[in-house]
Amino acid sequence: MNLKIENLKAGLPDKKILQGITLEVPAGEIHALMGPNGSGKSTLANVLAGHPQYEVSSGNISMGDINLSELEAYERARAGLFLAFQYPVEVPGITVGKFLKRAVELRRGEEGRFNVSAYIKELRENMDFLGIDQKFINRYLNEGFSGGEKKRMEVLQMLMLKPDFAVLDETDSGLDIDALQVVAKGINTLRGEDFSALVITHYQRILDYVKPDRVHVMVEGRIVLSGGPEIVDELEAKGYDWVKDSL
């Protein structure tokens, strides 16, 4: 589904971060959002997902014909928005299997008539696909997971929840090449006319495996450059200073 951000200004109570973001990802497309550290990429991810810590001072966010700005974080998730966290949170005492079952049930609106055996089958298939050991079903969510295991778990959740729009916040950071390919495989498998995504990254590396339809560059809370995939190579060659200098 398409995502439309119009003149979004947001930040922490004492700090303006997003200085008016306008961005549209049409249905079926995958866009990359690049930018140096501190440019506001993660803030945008969190604001899209509805993090209560951030204040939106103006602007609008919509997904299809749903006005996301008016929804709480959990309503956005149920409506089909997914955020793959840069730093997935450890939740002791809750197993992956139990947690995901509940999340999938809520996402699909199937409370009370949820088919558990179909769910488990699908979960196992997706785990195999991503190379995650089945033992993780009974482990507590993210507790004691390595960095790579946490990121795979985010992608597993994305595959199970089948979002209409996904925001992947530096899902590639800190991954070795094998893990990176697994993450890319997860995104590519969802690719299709009903799915669109914003892949936030600091490096071009993941974009070798997930080909973006368009690339946006963010600096100091603003989108300063948008264009085709060729921008990636240019950034790689010249660095972010090239964009800053050309402002």
Tell me the closest approach of the beta carbon of residue 42 to another protein, in angstroms: 13
Q: Which is nearer to another protein, 107 or 205 (CB)?
A: 107
Q: Which is nearer to another protein, 85 or 195 (CB)?
A: 85
Asked whether the beta carbons of 33 and 168 are under 8 A apart, the reply is no
Tell me the closest approach of the beta carbon of residue 141 to another protein, in angstroms: 8
Tell me the closest approach of the beta carbon of residue 49 to another protein, in angstroms: 5
Q: Which is nearer to another protein, 102 or 121 (CB)?
A: 102
Asked whether the beta carbons of 32 and 215 are under 8 A apart, the reply is yes
Tell me the closest approach of the beta carbon of residue 50 to another protein, in angstroms: 7
Q: Where do contacts with another protein occur on this chain (CB under 8 A)?
A: 49-53, 72-74, 76-78, 83, 85, 88-89, 91-94, 99, 102-103, 106-107, 140, 157, 161
Q: Which is nearer to another protein, 36 or 64 (CB)?
A: 64
Task: Give the residue ranges of DSSP H helices in the chain.
Answer: 41-49, 73-79, 96-108, 116-130, 147-161, 177-190, 230-238, 240-245
Buried b (16+ CB within 10 A) or exposed e, 100-139: bbeebbebbeeeeeeeeeebeebbeebbeebebeeebbeb
Q: 121 — phi, psi (to 5°)?
A: -60, -50
Q: How far is 47 from 245, CA to CA, in rounded Å? A: 28
Tell me the closest approach of the beta carbon of residue 87 to another protein, in angstroms: 8
Q: Which is nearer to another protein, 71 or 224 (CB)?
A: 71
